[in-house]
Amino acid sequence: MFADLLQMLAAMNIKDKTIGLLERRITKTALVLATRSWAANSFYEVDLHVPDADFDRPGVKYMKCRVNQLTYRDYTIAMWDVETKTCTLFVDAAHSGPGSEWVKNLKKNDVMSYLNVESHRYNNPDNKKLLMLGDQSSVGHFLALQQLAEPGAHIEGAIVITRAAHRTEFNAYYPDLNLHTLSAEDGSTQALARWLEYHGIDNDMVFLAGNVHMVTALRQQLRVMGYSSKQIDAQGFWR
């Protein structure tokens, strides 16, 4: 809502300085503890200290990060620690956009701004067999779901990661997530649809995240395979 108001002020030719002051009043801040880039500087892990965050609230949480003047992007909070109020964001920056530019320039000890932390609640936390399907922008989302999963839950699934070096890094850093890495030679949707056809039966709950069109197509496939709406949690992240 405040972001909309600021957009309106920008359209009215209000001076940058005034907009800056207003943005500072409505945003909160977090301290960048570290950043780590994967191969080719196109995927980033960002460790943050977020003093005002309530990491205890239920659901998958995401921060509306200020990536440029009057420009905000959502990034999922993963690997959080309630006591120390620290967490990690996983940001795909292989494309051009304000979010990519922002993360590429972040460094240790920077103070970043965010509008708020929102959360997305999903069905039935008692599920034991969880299937996760997504593209590289969903790494943080799946790590968050792993952290929220009931003890003893079984996770499997697949994630499309275009760059071979990133597939190697993902498998080395997060083997416990138990997701197959797929290349996207004939497109993410096709790669995941094929994987799903062979491996996708008999799960309690399916989580989809990433490109909006990919998520929509996979959701349709799951419905045809017999999954109910309640068993599918679909999160479109980008178009």
Ligand X SMILES: Cc1cc2nc3c(=O)[nH]c(=O)nc-3n(C[C@H](O)[C@H](O)[C@H](O)COP(=O)(O)OP(=O)(O)OC[C@H]3O[C@@H](n4cnc5c(N)ncnc54)[C@H](O)[C@@H]3O)c2cc1C
By C-beta, is 20 or 97 nearer to ligand X? Answer: 97
Q: Give the range of 71-79, 104-112, 187-195, 213-221 binding ligand X by CB under 6 A.
A: 71-79
- Separation between Cα atoms, residue 42 and residue 61, nearest integer Å: 23
List, in sequence order, every residue forming a beta bridge with 46; answer none if it has no partner: 35, 89
99 touches ligand X by CB under 6 A = yes
Q: Does 166 bind ligand X (CB under 6 A)?
A: no
Q: Which residue is nearest to ligand X (CB)?
A: 97
CA atoms of 81 and 183, how far apart (whole Å):
32
Does residue 17 touch ligand X according to CB under 6 A? Answer: no
Among 29, 33, 85, 98, binds ligand X (CB under 6 A): 98
CB of 103 to ligand X, least distance (A): 8
Of 45-53, 89-97, 195-203, 212-220, which part binds ligand X (CB under 6 A)? 89-97
What does the chain come to in residues? Answer: 239
E strands within 38-77? 43-49, 60-68, 71-76
Determine the size of the site formed for ligand X (CB under 6 A).
Answer: 20
Q: How close are the terminal C-alpha atoms of the chain, in Å?
A: 22
Q: Check binding of 88 to ligand X (CB under 6 A).
A: no
Q: Among residues 170 and 237, whose Cβ is nearest to ligand X?
A: 237
Interface with ligand X (CB under 6 A), residue from 3, 9, 28, 74: 74
Residue 158: C-alpha distances to residues 10, 123, 142 (Å): 42, 21, 11
Question: Is 23 or 45 the residue whose CB approaches ligand X more closely?
Answer: 45
Are 212 and 191 in contact by the 8 Å Cβ rule? The answer is no
Q: Residue 188: phi, psi to the nearest 5?
A: -60, -45
3 state DSSP class of 198: helix
Q: Which residues bind ligand X (CB under 6 A)?
A: 62, 73-76, 90-92, 94-95, 97-100, 137, 140-141, 237-239
